[in-house]
Amino acid sequence: MRLADMNWMQVEAHARRDDRAVLPVGSTEQHAHLSLCVDAILAEKVALDAVEGLSIPVFPVINYGLTPSFIDYPGTVSLKLSTLCAIITDVLDGMVRSGFRKITIVNGHGGNSPAHGAVLEWLDRNRGIQVKWHNWWSAPKTLAHVQSIDPVASHASWMENFPWTRLGNIAMPHTQKPMLDLARFQPLDPGAKKELLGDGNYGGFYQRPDEEMLAIWQTAIAETRAVIAEGWA
C-alpha cells in the first residue's frame, strides 16, 4: 500500500484504525554493473511486497544515504551524516503527526546504520512511539539463505542482482571476483578506494540464476513482513 496512492483524508482515517507504517531508506551509489539506485529500489520493493494484503502504508523511499567511500564513482551521492539523521527524524516527525505510532524503517544500505543512533535518540524525545530498524538483506533468515547458496557474496555482487536492479543492456562478467580485503580498504581515501576496488563489486560472482534470487526474495519478503506486522509492544 503506497502512500502515493492515498490522499490526506484516507491517511487520517487509516491511522485511526491502524497506526503501523513503513519508511524505506536506501542510497544512490555505485553498484558495479547494476543500477546506481539498487539500495533504494530493493528497500522500497521489499517493503511494498511485504505489506501486500496488510493495508499498511509505505512512505516514499529516502533515495539518498551515507556513502562517503564511493563518492569518486560518478552518479554516487553521499549525504552528510547530520543531514541523513535530520531527514529521517524529520520524516518520523511527520509520520507521527499523521497518527502513526508503530513505524518500521526498512533500510537497504549498510552505510546508513549510524543513523539508527539518531532514531534511538529521537525515541527518547517521543515517548510512546515505537520504531523498528530493519536491515532487510542482513536479517537472519535472509542472510542465511544467501550464504546457503554461495557464501562469497557482498556489495554489488550476485546477492544484489535481481531482475529489478540489473540494467537490460549491460552484460555481467562471468568470473568470481576475489573478496575485498576490508582491513586494507577501509583506511583509504575515496580515490584510493576506487583504484583498489575497480568496478565496485566487493567480491563474488556477478549474477546467479533468477530462480535462486526469487527464492531469496520470498524469504526476505516473509521476514520483513513479520517485522512490520508483528511483535509490537
Considering the chain, what is the average pLDDT of its residues? 98
CA angle at 63 for the pair 121 and 47, rounded to the nearest 5°:
80
pLDDT attached to residue 42:
98
- Cβ–Cβ under 8 Å, residues 95 and 57: no
Residue 171 pLDDT level (bands cut at 50, 70, 90): very high
* Cα–Cα distance list, 56 to 51, 52, 92, 200, 216 (Å): 6, 8, 16, 35, 23
Distance (Å, rounded) from C-alpha 155 to C-alpha 221?
A: 20
Asked if residue 216 lies in contact with residue 208, where contact means CB atoms within 8 angstroms, the answer is no
Q: What is residue 116's predicted lDDT score, i.e. its pLDDT?
A: 98
Question: How much is the average pLDDT of 150-161?
Answer: 98
Whether 96 and 180 have beta carbons less than 8 Å apart is answered as: no
Rounded Cα–Cα distance for residues 73 and 67 (Å) = 11
Please state the rounded mean pLDDT for residues 158-181. Answer: 97
Helices (H) and strands (E) in the chain, counts: 8, 5
The reported pLDDT for the residue numbered 209 is 98
Rounded CA-CA distance 18/37 in Å is 31
Q: Which domains does the chain have, with CATH numbers?
A: 3-229 (3.40.50.10310)
Q: What is the mean pLDDT of residues 167-176?
A: 95
Residue pLDDT, tens place only, 28-83: 999 999 999 999 999 999 999 999 999 999 999 999 999 999 999 999 999 999 99
pLDDT in tens, 109-148: 999 999 999 999 999 999 999 999 999 999 999 999 999 9
Q: Taking residues 184-202, what's their average pLDDT? A: 98
Q: Is 157 helix (H, G, I), strand (E, B) or coil?
A: coil
State the pLDDT confidence band at 154, using cuts at 50, 70 and 90: very high
Kindly report the pTM of this predicted structure. 0.97
Q: What is the average pLDDT across 149-163?
A: 98
On whether the CB atoms of residues 179 and 157 are closer than 8 A, the answer is no
Q: Are 197 and 71 in contact (CB under 8 A)?
A: no
